[in-house]
Structure 1
Amino acid sequence: MSIHAIRIVAALTVVMGLIYITWRWTASLNWDAWWIALPLVAAETYSLIDVALFSLTIWRMSNREVAPTAPQGLTVDVFITTYNEDPELVLETTRAALAIRYPHTTWVLDDGARPEMRAAAERLGAGYVSRGSEWQGKPRHAKAGNLNNALHETQGEYVLILDADQIPRPEILDQTLGYFNNRRVAFVQTPQWFGNVPENDPLGSQAPLFYGPIQQGKDGWNAAFFCGSNAVLRREALMQLGLAGYVEDTERRVSRALTAGRRVLRTARRRPEARDPNVAALLARVEAALAEGSRRLDSGDSFGDATYFVQADVDAAVRTLVARDLEAASADAAALRAELAEFEEEALGDDPAELDAAVDRLVARDLSPLGALESVRALLDAVSVERLHEAQPIMPLSTISVTEDMSTSMRLHASGWRSVYHHEILAVGLAPEDLPSMLTQRLRWAQGTVQVMLRENPLNMRGLSWPQRLMYFATMWSYLSGFAAVVYFAGPLAYLLFGVLPVHALSTAFFERFVPFMVLNQILFVLVAQGAKTWRGQQYSLALFPTWIRACTSAAANVWFGRPLGFAVTPKSRGERRRALPLVWPQAILAVLLIVGCVTGVIRWGFGLSQGLGTVVNIVWAIFDVVLLSVLVGAARYQGYEPRAVADKEEV
């Protein structure tokens, strides 16, 4: 299909959507039923923005038909990441990695530190990397930490990252390394495709829309994502990113500490003990030192220069006050000791939000002069340039999210690097084989994406072009669909059960605006998909609304309040059969309500309690919702993949 035809349909879709949504906001709202009318029009507005972002994405779809020839003599490390996967599964991937044609070194990155895994990998001729003792008691950062550790233990110019279940094809490096002839290319991403998915794809694992038009569209805007596996990355770009991140984070921490220290001292100077001229002079001297430290930092001096003299002045002031044996200060210092220990534990984490919260709590205390000086010293110790709380101060891959890939690629783009999406299946993986495993996987993806949105919103990230910002934001925005889905399910129920219509009336004005927009929207999907089966993805985008809502709320609680998320590895093999119904009870209840609503709507119509047109439209709407939810019936019954040959034999 011509890109020009796709652009015409995309533009018409957005224009018709704008006409429809403008009319909805200005001329159709039923204010007597505002409690459903406003949420519904807000959900429709959300969907229009989603359509507009999708249209922008596919506006410049790339078409990389032939990969550049891979230059000879490059050094490549192949990383196979594993934690608790079946060793035989890891070894199958290792054998395939060793068989890659382009010269390389294969490494098994075992975060489970299993001796039998080391012995098996070395027996095959692969290298083995696990965490050392320096990681004990330090933040591990899950897969990102595993990869960062391996980057410090190896030397290849390029790194191919594979999940434990992704079997690479021998030509994977020949088909990707040529793109690095462009010195600004940081990574090349290839599709994730799964060999254990039946034709009807009951769990929606293949994602042909994302690993196709969406990634090709993002590639056209130089915003293709790194997806965690089946990607080749330039080590230079990653290490540069790690260094830049280290400097930026340390600068932010030091600046925050110097500013907070001045606030602590200003509060302490209001205490009665500070009326002593000698004590007041000490506090003024340290406050001036903090101001000088901030000035040095703003003028570009090193972190050490900005904080060294401040720390010296603080230490001298503390010694002076202790020598004077101020009774009140000594008592306060004893009471403060436990709180400072707690502050240091919180402030030494890698999460900027945790540091800020710890600093705010410390600043809010009413401290004596000695307590204030001890607090300033704790602040400066917490932002030490040495970063002794980290096993590795330099973290090339981002650690702010349970999914390290999106944040890492966004930071690379913001640093001026380029990316490539090569649309060729070069590795075959294993998809989840039951509904519980699939839900675990989707929840983790969504949580990680929302974490990134809340911590590093691309719309505010310096260095990204506006198209790049919108490409990242489009993916983050899509995970808010759970809230819109609730409204779309509630809409027909409001009328069928209670006779409440969110619009004034289902008039000709409504249909002549709504129908063209919906028809064009579906035509756009068909044209862009180019024969790929995308219906399953459309079903799951709404049917998994509880998962998307949980992801948003749990990620927000993690970012804003420090509540842990945990990290669950998606099972790669079929284990004990788990009951699926308890995991989808909201959808089951909703499906029953929709069916009851249809029956009730017919009865109300028969008794003249509702309009004929309104009843028919809402019954059609409810049936459509049930069809969307019905995808979970097949998913719950799915017993796992059976190869065609085995299935044929059983039939005979």
Structure 2
Amino acid sequence: MRPFWVRLVVVLTVLTGINYVTWRWVASLNWDAWWIAVPLVIAETYSLIDVMLFGMTVWRLKERTPPSPESADATVDVFVTTYNEPLDMVMATALAAQRIRHPHSTWILDDGDRQELRDLAAAHGLGYVTRGAAWSGMPRHAKAGNLNNALMMTSGEFLLILDADQIPEPDILDKTLGYFNNRRVALVQTPQYFSNVPDSDPLGSQAPLFYGPIQQGKDGWNAAFFCGSNAVLRREALMQLGLVGYVKETEKSVRRALSASQAAIRKARKAASNESPLLLQTLDEVEAATLEARRQLDAGESLSEITYRARRRVDRAVQSLVLADVTALQADLEEIAAMSPVQVGEAGVPVVTEDAVHRMAARDWSPLGAIESVQAVLDALSVERTDEAQPVMPLATISVTEDMATAMRLHSLGWQSVYHHEILAYGLAPEDIGTMLTQRLRWAQGTMQVFLRENPLVQRGLKMGQRLMYFATMWTYLSGFAAVVYFAAPIVYLLLGILPVTSLSADFFLRFIPFMVVNQLLFAIAGKGIPTWRGQQYSLALFPTWIKACTTAARNVWLGRPLGFAVTPKDRQSGGPRWSLIRPQIIVSVLLVIASVVGIGRLAAGMSEPIGTLVNVLWVVFDLVVMSILVRAVLYRGYQADEPDDETSSITEPSNERAARGPEL
């Protein structure tokens, strides 16, 4: 019955939402205050699209039954990724991974290249992988580069990827490998659950809405995506992805080189307008070679053959020009020699006459300089990726988070994914607001990088449902801009008495209230009792983080500016409360309070309407309640276990105390 009720509430939400927002656009805008009225209705339209995408997500909630038993001979590599995390944390995870029951090889992927960790891995019989000399001076691509490097040094049929703090259960492979009996399944993602989070979850780390109905809904559309850890992937699918990516990137490089060569040829022809006919003939031949290469590229011919033929044809043309140039140079030297330019000076030293100097300076000795730029561009016609440490990069490197882009590319190739709704690994969440903000910023930046570089709405190979499921996740990070408007609207009314709507009439309430009620009802029914309020708080309260993520990602993609990537610390950062981290929210909260006081004063003085003041004061109260979570987050002093157990023991024995802290989803 649950799917029926979910779909019924989705329909009601969409109908009431469209009814309300359409009325807002058509009949309620206060055009005398368009500067706040239009932004507000745009923000409301954004929110309607957001809830409609959520409704579409949960329309196909998939609650999977356990898969059939896995193949006993399936080979698995377990990767524990690390950069600078504490050695005891990495070893606790690696040793727990070593105890996984299904036969496998455990590898520590140390991007920090630490000798101490290498020695510990050897002492415990663990594999150890770090980057070689080929990566020196090359783009490293953070975690994606670390995993891509390890893929070329291992051979397991499947890969279990774990972050340095994610302690796996011994049966994690027993419960996930069976899905791969379907040969088209490339990815099985399990939830990320954190054992150091209190029930109040002041930093909003657990994300029960995402690792619940959202991922289950995406799973129904075959769009559940890779989340970076606690996931099993098929090597064959990743290698296919890497090879396809290699071909695409090489083709892009060749096309760029051919396009650039056209500009270089035009420039060289202009510079050579007074040169010999032979030079112009050579440039014509080079241009013909590039045009032919582009035609063959469009026809889908082999890249290696195209680049080989084009470079050979250009080389022959240049060689002919060089031969002619050398012949002309020899003739010029003979002509100068016949002029007897050399005389004997006072000291008996031979000198060149002034007449000969003028003749030599006036002579354009070589036309080869005119095509140097063309030759340099054509040197880029190569199928070798000399700008990367390795030619094949299976995991996507287009953003600071490798997971979503990799999954989207796998889906575009026709592979399937699975979301297994059971906690099978236990991690460590941030324990201070600074670390939490760093983590959320990186997630948002990575998502927006993918959106700007590979917009899912136009990606070939994706079905419409998959396109919208990826777009839905990207769309949510635009909420920071809408939040600014939602905070500004009540401030404007309470301070200035300006309403963004024509009036707060019965028409407004009859449309707005039903929409809000069924909207909240949808979250309650889809979540089936899980807490969603904390997620709703942070979606608004972190508006500066979301705005920064969008703007920095745009500057990175469009202007090439660096993001300033930082690895999320795994331990609590020292120091007292850091109020500066939420300065924008504090300013907004102060303005909301001041606006409320002024608004109540205006009401007492008869300068505003009671209904308008009441509605906006209630709006301010709601905003302040949303913001209040940040006060708790700043004052949060880290996780304190309910029972005085040994945290180190709970980390090294995940199937006992640590696992007991989190029930199955």
Q: Within 1, Cα distance between the matches of 2:368 and 2:217?
A: 60
The one of 418, 423, 426 equivalent to 1:425 is 423
* SS of residue matched to 1:153: coil
| Equivalent position of 1:498 in the other structure | 496
The one of 509, 512, 536 equivalent to 2:510 is 512
- Native 8 Å contact 2:24 2:41 kept in 1: yes
> Any gaps of 5 or more consecutive residues in structure 1?
327-367
1:467-506 equivalence runs, <5 A: 467-506=465-504
Q: Within 1, Cα distance between the matches of 2:528 and 2:274?
A: 76
- Native 8 Å contact 1:269 1:369 kept in 2: no
1:435-471 Cα deviation digits (max 9, x unpaired): 0000000000000000000000000000000000000
The one of 426, 448, 451 equivalent to 1:450 is 448
Matched, 1:546 2:544: yes
Q: Within 2, Cα distance between the matches of 1:379 and 1:195?
A: 55
Residue 503 of structure 1 aligns with an amino acid whose one-letter code is V
- Native 8 Å contact 2:272 2:370 kept in 1: no
Q: Within 2, Cα distance between the matches of 1:162 and 1:369?
A: 60
Q: Within 2, Cα distance between the matches of 1:217 and 1:382?
A: 46
- Offset of residue 267 of structure 1: 4.0
- Native 8 Å contact 1:187 1:419 kept in 2: yes
* SS of residue matched to 2:270: coil
> Any gaps of 5 or more consecutive residues in structure 2?
327-365, 647-665
Q: Within 2, Cα distance between the matches of 1:472 and 1:302?
A: 33
- Offset of residue 381 of structure 1: 2.8
- Native 8 Å contact 1:227 1:405 kept in 2: yes
1:177-196 equivalence runs, <5 A: 177-196=177-196
Q: Within 2, Cα distance between the matches of 1:626 and 1:222?
A: 39
| Equivalent position of 2:61 in the other structure | 61
- Native 8 Å contact 1:283 1:369 kept in 2: no
- Offset of residue 383 of structure 1: 4.7
Q: Within 1, Cα distance between the matches of 2:424 and 2:632?
A: 29
Q: Within 1, Cα distance between the matches of 2:399 and 2:134?
A: 22
Q: Within 2, Cα distance between the matches of 1:613 and 1:596?
A: 19
- Offset of residue 525 of structure 1: 0.6
Q: Within 1, Cα distance between the matches of 2:274 and 2:576?
A: 66
Residue 511 of structure 2 aligns with an amino acid whose one-letter code is R
- Native 8 Å contact 1:162 1:231 kept in 2: yes
| Equivalent position of 1:348 in the other structure | none
Residue 608 of structure 1 aligns with an amino acid whose one-letter code is G
- Native 8 Å contact 1:179 1:188 kept in 2: yes
Q: Within 1, Cα distance between the matches of 2:367 and 2:486?
A: 59
Structure number with bigger Rg:
2
* SS of residue matched to 1:645: coil
Q: Within 2, Cα distance between the matches of 1:206 and 1:97?
A: 22
- Offset of residue 107 of structure 1: 0.4
| Equivalent position of 2:596 in the other structure | 598
Matched, 1:414 2:412: yes
* SS of residue matched to 2:265: helix
- Offset of residue 572 of structure 1: 0.9
Q: Within 2, Cα distance between the matches of 1:594 and 1:76?
A: 56
| Equivalent position of 1:299 in the other structure | 299
- Offset of residue 321 of structure 1: 5.5
| Equivalent position of 2:279 in the other structure | 279
Residue 197 of structure 1 aligns with an amino acid whose one-letter code is V
| Equivalent position of 1:522 in the other structure | 520
- Offset of residue 388 of structure 1: 2.0
Residue 436 of structure 1 aligns with an amino acid whose one-letter code is G
| Equivalent position of 2:661 in the other structure | none
- Offset of residue 254 of structure 1: 0.8
Q: Within 1, Cα distance between the matches of 2:47 and 2:381?
A: 44
| Equivalent position of 1:249 in the other structure | 249
1:555-594 equivalence runs, <5 A: 555-577=553-575, 579-594=577-592
Q: Within 1, Cα distance between the matches of 2:548 and 2:370?
A: 41
| Equivalent position of 2:174 in the other structure | 174
Residue 638 of structure 1 aligns with an amino acid whose one-letter code is Y
- Native 8 Å contact 2:400 2:445 kept in 1: yes
* SS of residue matched to 1:428: strand
| Equivalent position of 2:614 in the other structure | 616
Q: In the superposition, relative to structure 1, how do residues 71 and 548 fare at CA in structure 2: closer, same or farther (>3 Å)? A: same
* SS of residue matched to 1:610: coil
- Offset of residue 318 of structure 1: 4.5
1:79-98 equivalence runs, <5 A: 79-98=79-98
Residue 491 of structure 2 aligns with an amino acid whose one-letter code is L
* SS of residue matched to 2:78: strand
- Native 8 Å contact 2:221 2:466 kept in 1: yes
- Offset of residue 372 of structure 1: 6.1
| Equivalent position of 1:351 in the other structure | none
- Native 8 Å contact 1:68 1:175 kept in 2: no
- Offset of residue 252 of structure 1: 1.7
Q: In the superposition, relative to structure 1, how do residues 57 and 292 fare at CA in structure 2: closer, same or farther (>3 Å)? A: same
Q: Within 1, Cα distance between the matches of 2:30 and 2:284?
A: 64
Q: In the superposition, relative to structure 1, how do residues 372 and 56 fare at CA in structure 2: closer, same or farther (>3 Å)? A: farther
Q: In the superposition, relative to structure 1, how do residues 613 and 389 fare at CA in structure 2: closer, same or farther (>3 Å)? A: same
Q: In the superposition, relative to structure 1, how do residues 585 and 383 fare at CA in structure 2: closer, same or farther (>3 Å)? A: farther
- Native 8 Å contact 2:272 2:279 kept in 1: no
Residue 455 of structure 1 aligns with an amino acid whose one-letter code is R
- Native 8 Å contact 1:318 1:374 kept in 2: no
Could you tell which deviates more after superposition, 506-515 or 310-319? 310-319
Q: In the superposition, relative to structure 1, how do residues 531 and 274 fare at CA in structure 2: closer, same or farther (>3 Å)? A: farther
Q: Within 2, Cα distance between the matches of 1:416 and 1:13?
A: 32
CA RMSD in angstroms, aligned pairs only = 1.7
- Native 8 Å contact 1:492 1:618 kept in 2: yes
Q: In the superposition, relative to structure 1, how do residues 178 and 369 fare at CA in structure 2: closer, same or farther (>3 Å)? A: farther
Q: In the superposition, relative to structure 1, how do residues 283 and 383 fare at CA in structure 2: closer, same or farther (>3 Å)? A: closer
* SS of residue matched to 1:233: strand
| Equivalent position of 2:214 in the other structure | 214
Residue 457 of structure 2 aligns with an amino acid whose one-letter code is L
Residue 568 of structure 1 aligns with an amino acid whose one-letter code is A
Residue 620 of structure 1 aligns with an amino acid whose one-letter code is L
- Native 8 Å contact 1:268 1:274 kept in 2: no
| Equivalent position of 2:351 in the other structure | none
- Offset of residue 589 of structure 1: 0.6
- Native 8 Å contact 1:416 1:463 kept in 2: yes
1:397-436 Cα deviation digits (max 9, x unpaired): 0000000000000000000000000000000000001000
1:102-151 Cα deviation digits (max 9, x unpaired): 11110000000001001111211111000011111111110000000100
* SS of residue matched to 2:59: helix
Matched, 1:202 2:202: yes
Residue 539 of structure 2 aligns with an amino acid whose one-letter code is S
1:23-422 equivalence runs, <5 A: 23-271=23-271, 273=273, 276-318=276-318, 373-422=371-420
* SS of residue matched to 2:585: helix
Q: In the superposition, relative to structure 1, how do residues 611 and 581 fare at CA in structure 2: closer, same or farther (>3 Å)? A: same
| Equivalent position of 2:349 in the other structure | none
The one of 622, 626, 629 equivalent to 2:627 is 629
Q: Within 2, Cα distance between the matches of 1:417 and 1:463?
A: 10
Residue 104 of structure 2 aligns with an amino acid whose one-letter code is H
| Equivalent position of 2:352 in the other structure | none
Could you tell which deviates more after superposition, 373-382 or 87-96? 373-382
- Native 8 Å contact 1:102 1:173 kept in 2: yes
Give the aligned length. 607
* SS of residue matched to 2:410: helix
Residue 263 of structure 1 aligns with an amino acid whose one-letter code is A
Q: Within 1, Cα distance between the matches of 2:564 and 2:370?
A: 36
- Offset of residue 384 of structure 1: 2.0
Q: Within 1, Cα distance between the matches of 2:267 and 2:407?
A: 43
- Native 8 Å contact 2:307 2:382 kept in 1: no
- Offset of residue 565 of structure 1: 1.0
